[in-house]
């Protein structure tokens, strides 16, 4: 019986090679089509928040160089590296999968010592607290620091399937748990609270609707738990009511009593002042006709 050859004939080899090439072409085409589809889906998806701030890179770098020029005591800092770490945190990632840890390297590059007794936290007093720190440089909010000043008021998020920022829309603060903006400010707030020492102040809005301090506020969920009780001797609450405004509250407000108890559970002393005079003076400059402001001019 003759032996059968294990070798393929030239014709069979040609057929197999042709089939292999055809399958490879199909795979490549399918991959391209899938890539185009995913990219188009990403580009057409609309989040509830504003897109990345225009000229974000130029703004961040400009603020970085400007802060370093005013604060030479920070030493050598690489603004381009800081920008690179921001892009590393969000490029080619789902904007709703950016965790606080995504910004670890960025936080390390921007670390800054906060002098004791200068930290000023806030909740629902954004405009007033920063008006105050502009005229009273002996207090510092997160937004006045190196890190905070670079990114204050800006928005950014990346794209899932490609490099670059998404300028069309980004997830709103509460649209998903781990979005690029909320995770950044939570991480930055924790770092600011950890570096605080001595007496820490917090400015709250006594004329706001509902609870003065929400349970999910950064103050209560991030900053207070992040403080080191061995470094922070006291947390003083400034409860600021609007001059001439309708509703006002005192330190006996139920929400504030609960806040003080929460602070003390973290082994930090707390106290409360209503309408702290230096801030009240600032409020009355803008509201000189308010009845409860007239006493400040005599």
Distance from C-alpha of 256 to C-alpha of 214, rounded to nearest angstrom: 10
Which residue in the list 64, 157, 197, 293 is annotated as catalytic? Answer: 197
Query: Quick one: tokens of 185?
Result: 């400010």
Closest to 157 measured CA to CA, from 137, 182, 130:
182
Asked if 11 contacts 18 with a C-beta cutoff of 8 angstroms, the reply is no
Instruction: Look at residue 295 and give its three-state secondary structure.
Output: helix
Judge contact between 152 and 81, C-beta under 8 A: no
| 8 A C-beta contact, residue 181 and residue 155 | yes
> Any catalytic annotation for residue 176?
no
The single residue of 96, 116, 176, 251 carrying the catalytic annotation is 116
Are 229 and 262 spatial neighbours (Cβ–Cβ below 8 Å)? Answer: no
Torsion sign over Cα 249, 252, 255, 259: positive
Instruction: Evaluate whether 183 touches 103 at the Cβ level (below 8 Å).
Output: yes
Which parts of the chain fold into alpha helices (H)?
10-44, 56-70, 79-90, 104-109, 126-135, 146-151, 180-194, 218, 224-226, 254-265, 277-286
SS3 call for 72: helix
Q: For residue 124, count CB atoms less than 10 angstroms from its CB and return exposed for 0-12, middle for 13-18, buried for 19 or more.
A: buried
Quick one: tokens of 205?
A: 């809005």
For the question of residue 197 being annotated catalytic, the response is yes
Helix 56-70 vs helix 79-90: crossing angle, to nearest 10: 140
Q: Which residues are catalytic?
A: 116, 197
């Amino acid at each position: 019986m003759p032996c059968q050859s294990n070798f393929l004939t030239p014709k069979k080899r040609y057929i197999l090679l042709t089939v292999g090439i055809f399958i490879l072409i199909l795979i490549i085409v399918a991959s391209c089509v899938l890539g185009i589809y995913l990219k188009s889906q990403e580009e057409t998806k609309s989040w509830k928040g504003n897109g990345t701030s225009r000229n974000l890179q130029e703004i961040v770098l400009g603020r970085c160089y400007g802060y370093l020029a005013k604060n030479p005591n920070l030493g050598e800092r690489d603004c381009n590296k800081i920008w690179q770490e921001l892009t590393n945190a969000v490029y080619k990632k789902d904007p709703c999968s950016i965790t606080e840890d995504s910004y670890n390297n960025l936080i390390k590059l921007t670390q800054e010592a906060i002098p004791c007794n200068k930290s000023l936290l806030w909740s629902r007093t954004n405009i007033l607290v920063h008006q105050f720190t502009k005229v009273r440089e002996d207090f510092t909010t997160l937004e006045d620091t190196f890190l905070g000043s670079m990114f204050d008021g800006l928005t950014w998020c990346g794209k899932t399937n490609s490099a670059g920022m998404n300028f069309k829309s980004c997830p709103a603060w509460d649209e998903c748990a781990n979005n690029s903006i909320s995770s950044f400010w939570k991480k930055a707030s924790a770092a600011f609270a950890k570096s605080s020492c001595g007496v820490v102040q917090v400015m709250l809005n006594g004329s706001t609707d509902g609870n003065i301090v929400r349970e999910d506020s950064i103050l209560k969920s991030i900053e207070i738990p992040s403080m080191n009780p061995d470094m922070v001797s006291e947390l003083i609450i400034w409860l600021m009511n609007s001059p001439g405004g309708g509703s006002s509250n005192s330190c006996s407000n139920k929400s504030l009593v609960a806040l003080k108890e929460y602070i003390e559970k973290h082994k930090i002393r707390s106290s409360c002042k209503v309408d702290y005079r230096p801030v009240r003076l600032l409020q009355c400059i803008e509201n000189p006709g308010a009845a409860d402001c007239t006493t400040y001019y005599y």
